[in-house]
Chains A and B, each alone.
Chain A
Amino acid sequence: MSTALTRPPLVRSSDRIIAGVCSGLAAHLGWPVKNVRIGMAFATLAGGAGLAFYAWLWIMVPTADESARRNARRPASPIAPTVSLDPAFGAGSPRPAGVPPSAQAAGTQPLGTPDGGASAPAAGYGAPAAGYGAPAAGYGAPVRPPWFRVRSMRYGKEILLGAGLLLVAGILIAELLGVDVPLGTLIPAAAVLGGAAIAWMQLDETRRAGLVDKTKADQAGGWARLAAGLALVVAGVLVMVSGSGSWEQTWLALLASVAVLGGVVLVLLPWALKFWRDLESERAGRVRETERAEIAAHLHDSVLQTLALIQRRAGNEHDVIRLARAQERELRGWLFQDPGRDAGQLSDRIKATAAEVEDFLGNAVDVVSVGDTAMTEAHEALVQASREAMLNASRHGGGAVSVYLEVSDGRAEVFIKDRGPGFELNDVPEDRLGVRESIIGRMKRHGGTASITSTSDGTEVRLGLPGLQPDNAEGKS
């Protein structure tokens, strides 16, 4: 089985003539597609073995899309430790790390999932010459690690199939050798068995689908398969029972059997409904589990890391406060931010700027915002001027800074207040550009206003930007 490791998983390719089996097989085995196709055609001539093999692979092997979708449905949690897997199995299908083993064990894997693919070709080699099929498939089971033992049941099906093919081969050989085989009985019987197998596979599919998200396409395919299986079984049974194949008798029997089937459906309906509800609850449980894993991952990456940092820097009050503030901000954003919201609005930019200043200088910058608007070039200038004012307030105010943003009817105003000792604008040297250029000059250039009030109780910078483009103003909602 280790050779399967280095190969791409066996999937049906989209580059196809009939069902993409040959090109998929070629990709898996690393052979030229043409050779595989010619080989398959020749095998078909040899008593239909190629045809049987083709059909078998068609049923068993998922398409590339299906395979990718199945893998995608298993979100891997970034923090849950990768469950110790036998590498041979890890290679075929990346297993969902955050899912408890029990959930996986319960979900009987259908034949032909990517990891099943590793054993499928092993069984496949044997199929044309039926005789090797069974042992090759059967030998896969005992090497499963204990963790997978619950699921080794599924190889029973492959053994059965192998045995069936063996039987067919035996019959064909017997036929060739001149032994009289009662085909009239055997073919209906085979039809019954085949139909039942298809229907059971469908059941298996449904159970798997309960654990993963099911798409409409799967459902349609499932119903088609169920119908085909049912038709095969009914037809087989009818032909077998009526024996003669006379039409009147067959029709009568058909009517009777449909009536019986209806009765059976009626009886089994409650059971089926319960089954369906179980599936639904299982699916909901899985969604919750995924959510929990996501939350755990986030807390691990953010909060636990910060707490560890805080413990290491416990001596430095400044660092501790800064870390705690930054983490608080991050967590709030994660908890309350609506991910569907447009993040490029003015209030977001002001908050981001405040966070930046807070990180840079360590003093808290509290933002209260009322209303919001989309960004324009002038608003960008407003944000930059606010940033400069926040930096000054944090640097010279030496304490918490209050920022208030109000947008109404398109007019945006930002107030930045600190409680520092204050300063006199006229005392600021001419060569200091911070206040004069970055705040007042910038606002004026963009048609806005800026004023500074400074007393011994603190300084407040007021920035205003009239709503030039009313269609940009969303105002409050």
Chain B
Amino acid sequence: MNNAQGTGPIRPAQSVRVVIVDDHAIFRSGLKADLDASIQVVGEAATVEQAIAVIAQERPEVVLLDVHLPGGLGGGGREVIAGSAALLGTTKFLALSVSDAAEDVVAVIRAGARGYVTKTISGAEITDAVFRVAGGDAVFSPRLAGFVLDAFGTAPADIADDELDRLSARELEVMRLIARGYSYKEVAKELFISIKTVETHVSAVLRKLQLSSRHELTKWAAERRLL
């Protein structure tokens, strides 16, 4: 359903080591079957505690992390990222969610996840997203792009604003195109820029989303339960 991520150029020769964290065994096995052969699932976890333990032990490159998880202090995926903070440099987190609630998604992104995709996404798309995240890029679904545009506003940055609180005109364009369902490749073609530049813009937006002290962001997310 999520057709944002076309086939990107990043395909490392070696396989990517992945841990799947989700409390539904059916979903975990389904996802394992759907993932590309070059993705090696080295561990699985169903609760916050299990996840932190497995991640610390396996040190995977990418963790596919459900936003809602039982256990711990009730913080779900956010708590797993916080518990694995020491590994954030080497291990990348990709949030998976059915909830679609802005509050949950923004919370897990702000905790340090490198991207967010919906669970209805196809195996090829999720494989692509895993490679992209492993390569250090951010993965934005159209919905996450929509959240960002809604939270940061659709007007480009004024000079007076804190740089972190607004998106630049170019970042806005990129976010708009992603929200419209464009793949990175299509965004690059549309804006006459390279895919690498698109990825740079998306990473910059992710950074703003994570670091912005914009107090409305949290308030906004709390109000927007719907989508």
Contacts and interface: CB of A to CB of B under 8 A. Distances in A.
Interface in B156-178: 176
Nearest to B220: A477
B55 to A, nearest CB: 30
B121 to A, nearest CB: 10
A415 B180 contact: yes
Given A371-B154, A460-B180, A406 B142 contact: no
A404 B180 contact: yes
A336 to B, nearest CB: 4
Contacts of B154: 370-371, 406, 408, 476
Interface stretch (B12-20, B59-67, B83-91, B143-151): B143-151
Contacts of B146: 368-370, 404
A470 to B, nearest CB: 15
B226 interface: yes
Interface residues of B, number: 25
Contact of B142 (A332, A336, A366, A477): A366
A127 B180 CA distance: 80
B181 A366 contact: yes
A369 B224 CA distance: 12
Contacts of B226: 336-338
Contacts of A460: 180
A237 interface: no
Contacts of A476: 150, 153-154
A415 to B, nearest CB: 4
A387 interface: no
B150 A402 contact: no
B56 to A, nearest CB: 34
Interface string A67-108: 000000000000000000000000000000000000000000
A419 interface: yes
Q: Chain A, interface size: which category?
A: 20 to 34
A390 to B, nearest CB: 13
A33 interface: no
Contacts of A406: 149, 154, 176, 179
A21 interface: no
A409 to B, nearest CB: 8
B197 interface: no
Contact of B145 (A368, A400, A477): A368
A368 B150 CA distance: 10
Contacts of A12: none
Contacts of B120: 364
B51 to A, nearest CB: 25
B225 interface: yes
Contacts of B82: none
A357 to B, nearest CB: 15
B128 interface: no
B150 A366 contact: no
Interface in B94-120: 100-101, 120
A404 B181 contact: yes
B225 A336 contact: yes
Interface string A381-416: 000000000000000000110101010100000010
B1 interface: yes
B73 interface: no
A415 B179 CA distance: 10
Interface string B181-199: 1100010000000000000
A32 B187 CA distance: 84
Contact of A457 (B142, B153, B180, B186): B186
B188 to A, nearest CB: 13
A400 B149 contact: no
B223 interface: yes
B142 A371 contact: no
A139 B153 CA distance: 75
A368 B3 CA distance: 13
B33 interface: no
B101 A336 contact: yes
B35 to A, nearest CB: 20
Nearest to B145: A368
B180 A402 contact: yes
Contacts of B155: 408
A477 B227 CA distance: 15
Interface in A316-337: 332, 336-337
A172 to B, nearest CB: 71
Contacts of B153: 476
B179 A370 contact: yes
A406 B145 CA distance: 12
Nearest to A341: B226
A417 interface: yes
A407 B3 CA distance: 23
Contacts of A338: 225-226
B27 to A, nearest CB: 14
B179 A368 contact: yes
Interface string A441-477: 0000000000000000100100000000000000011
Contacts of B180: 368, 402, 404, 415, 417, 460
Leading 7 A-B pairs by shortest Cβ distance: A402-B181, A368-B146, A404-B180, A408-B154, A336-B226, A417-B181, A415-B180
10 contacts: A336-B225, A337-B226, A368-B142, A368-B143, A368-B179, A404-B176, A406-B154, A408-B154, A476-B153, A476-B154
Given A336-B227, A402-B180, A460-B180, 15 more contacts: A332-B100, A336-B100, A336-B226, A338-B226, A366-B1, A368-B143, A368-B179, A371-B150, A402-B3, A402-B142, A406-B149, A406-B154, A408-B154, A408-B155, A457-B186
